[in-house]
Amino acid sequence: MIQNGRALRQQHVPSELVHREGEVDALTASLGGGPSGMTENTIVTGPSGAGKTSTTRYVLRKLEDARLDVETGFVDCIGANSSTGALAGLFRDSDRSAPLDPRANARTVLINRLRELDDEFVAVLDEADVLEDKQVIHALYGLPNVTTVLISVNYDDLLINCDTRIQKRIRTFQHVEFDQYGDAQLADILTKRANVGLVPGSIAEDTIWYMADQAAGDARLAITILRLAAKQCTDRRQDEITTDVVDDVVENARSEIASRYIEKLSTHQRILYEVIKQEGTIQAGDLYAQYRERASDPMAERTLRSYLNSMEREGLIEQQGGGRYTEYALPA
């Protein structure tokens, strides 16, 4: 059934991006592809699965094709949420050999190295709201040859964790907003992927629409559903994806998307997450106690609070109640 597995992967950026023409134009203009040729710092916002990442990657690729004097770096701040981690990620993604060292005084070193670049550098921070230390935004802003692109689900969520100095900077950024895909657009996207990725006749149009409906505007989820459905059919030697198959894989698709955050957790954070997941809702003190039982070399409680805060920022857990009745739970 599967003809081209790559087209079914969620990270795959298609050569033609559909239903994002306006956003592509706006981003291209911001990044120097407009009539003025000016590159401007930009913030990209929109709900998850609205195509922010794909569109940005697409525009970056076009930009690199069109101009030789521009370098780009793209980093997903999930898993690189420290200043140095994010900066090292930018270097790794560009063609420059990146010093991988996550320690030492790498931050200033990396910033200076960026400053000394001859070319213009477009730095993209995906999931920027997850950044632990927003100072890196300010540092990048201070470099004349660097253009920054921040990607975040929510404009206000990003700003709220920045100090006023950085807030001021971000407010000067160009703002490109993405709306959620409609069902028809999502169905169209799925059809295009299926045409490239699957043997013809593997999926009926009605089933595509059913998938789009299940994904509720989230293209990442839609494509993951398509991939898992195709895989299940292959495993079971079925030659057509039916709505039953879609029903079977929807939950797995959801948890696969959630797991991309969980994978990046440290062992200690994962223990905390497992306890919360197992208990559903748990008192802070009980959480600490259960953690201490499971961890071979437990961290101080203050450190756990820091971990829990960063996990909450990533939307993995929720904190409820206050004062003495603090509880942790999985998001609703």
Q: What part of residues 88-107 is at the interface with DNA (CB under 7 A)? A: 99, 101-107
CB of 266 to DNA, least distance (A): 6
Q: Decide if 152 contacts 158 (C-beta within 8 A).
A: yes
Q: Is residue 283 involved in binding DNA (CB under 7 A)?
A: yes
Residue 77 tokens, joined: 């701040």
**Kind plus residue range of the DSSP H or E element containing 228:** helix 219-235
For residues 34 and 298, which CB has a smaller minimum distance to DNA in the complex?
298
For residues 144 and 322, which CB has a smaller minimum distance to DNA in the complex?
322
Residue choice 109, 153, 295, 329 for contact with DNA (CB under 7 A): 109
Residue 38 tokens, joined: 């000016």
Q: What letter would DSSP give residue 157?
A: H
For residues 136 and 221, which CB has a smaller minimum distance to DNA in the complex?
136
Q: What letter would DSSP give residue 30?
A: H
Residue 149 tokens, joined: 């692109």
Q: Is residue 293 involved in binding DNA (CB under 7 A)?
A: no
Q: Decide if 71 contacts 119 (C-beta within 8 A).
A: yes
CB of 111 to DNA, least distance (A): 9
d(CA 11, CA 216): 19
Residue choice 108, 154, 172, 281 for contact with DNA (CB under 7 A): 108
Q: Is residue 323 involved in binding DNA (CB under 7 A)?
A: yes
CB of 117 to DNA, least distance (A): 15
Q: Which stretch binds DNA (CB under 7 A): 3-11, 61-69, 76-84, 183-191?
A: 76-84
CB of 303 to DNA, least distance (A): 3
Residue choice 42, 54, 84, 214 for contact with DNA (CB under 7 A): 84
Residue 251 tokens, joined: 């939950």
The CA-atom distances, in angstroms, between 253 and each of 224, 225, 226, 246, 256 are 6, 6, 9, 10, 5
d(CA 246, CA 1): 15
For residues 234 and 320, which CB has a smaller minimum distance to DNA in the complex?
320
Q: Is 48 helix (H, G, I), strand (E, B) or coil?
A: coil
Of 269, 246, 279, residue with least CA distance to 316 = 269
For residues 83 and 202, which CB has a smaller minimum distance to DNA in the complex?
83
Q: Which stretch binds DNA (CB under 7 A): 81-89, 157-165, 179-187, 256-264?
A: 81-89
Binding residues vs DNA (CB under 7 A): 82-85, 99, 101-109, 132-133, 266, 268, 283-286, 288, 299-303, 305-306, 308-309, 319, 322-326
